[in-house]
Amino acid sequence: MIRRLFTGLVLASLATTAHAAFNMDQLMSELAQHKGGRAKFVEKRTLAVLDRPLVATGEMTYTPPDRLEKRTLTPKPETMVLDKDQVSIERDKRKYSISLASRPEALAFVDSIRNTLAGNRAALEKNYTLQLSGNNDNWVLTLTPTEQKIAALLQRITVSGSKDQIHTIDYLLADGDRSELSIEPLEPR
């Protein structure tokens, strides 16, 4: 009896929090509402081996739930398509196709962005610990890998945005190199 009462109280308090503040489920459902679309991106890579950062620009197209196309225009044209667990890269008229089913850690890495776009919390939590701060108009989601194989590549991913729109994705790699991706929607809704 006491136990049931206690459980009830906990549930009630959780429900109150959910309504009171901006929370993970809210963000995820908001992201999941996103119909996809085209966006411009600027990617800045800071590598220890290089004296100054590399900057790439281009366009991204996301088609829910599992197709992401990243078309780099500068410094060199390249197209990467992530469709289900197939990654294909086209560069210099050459086409490479890799099935990520065989490389679970690579899939988790690539999937972080797609699952964030799709608002798929369950999929994200399989490989990462999630931490959310900020409010609906200005949130920051931090993904820390739990899987050893991913942690060997990646320290954390920080995603920021407002409402259902992601603004930046920041990858901090295990070796200290980092990659910052800024996104700006091309067709404001």
Binding site for another protein (CB under 8 A): 43, 45, 47, 49-56, 70, 72, 75-76, 78, 80, 87, 89, 91, 93-94, 96-97, 99, 101-103, 110, 177
- Joined together, the tokens standing for residue 70 give 């990243």
Q: Please, which residue, 63 or 99, has the CB nearer to another protein? A: 99
Q: Please, which residue, 34 or 70, has the CB nearer to another protein? A: 70
**What is the nearest approach in angstroms of another protein to the Cβ of residue 47?**
7
What sign does the CA torsion over 106, 117, 119, 17 have? positive
Q: Is 21 left (phi over 0), alpha (psi -120 to 50) or beta?
A: beta
Q: Please, which residue, 102 or 135, has the CB nearer to another protein? A: 102
DSSP 10-48: HHHHHHHHHHHS--HHHHHHHHHH---EEEEEEEEEE-T
Distance, in Å, from the CA atom of 83 to the CA atom of 112, rounded to the nearest integer, reads: 14
Q: Alpha carbon of 175 to those of 49, 137, 151, 155, 171: distances in Å? A: 11, 32, 11, 8, 11
**What is the nearest approach in angstroms of another protein to the Cβ of residue 52?**
5
Q: Please, which residue, 13 or 97, has the CB nearer to another protein? A: 97
Q: Please, which residue, 10 or 101, has the CB nearer to another protein? A: 101
Distance, in Å, from the CA atom of 147 to the CA atom of 109, rounded to the nearest integer, reads: 11
Report yes or no: 143 and 155 within 8 Å, Cβ to Cβ.
Answer: no
Q: Please, which residue, 30 or 170, has the CB nearer to another protein? A: 170
In a 13 Å sphere around the CA of 182, the CA atoms on its Cβ side amount to 5
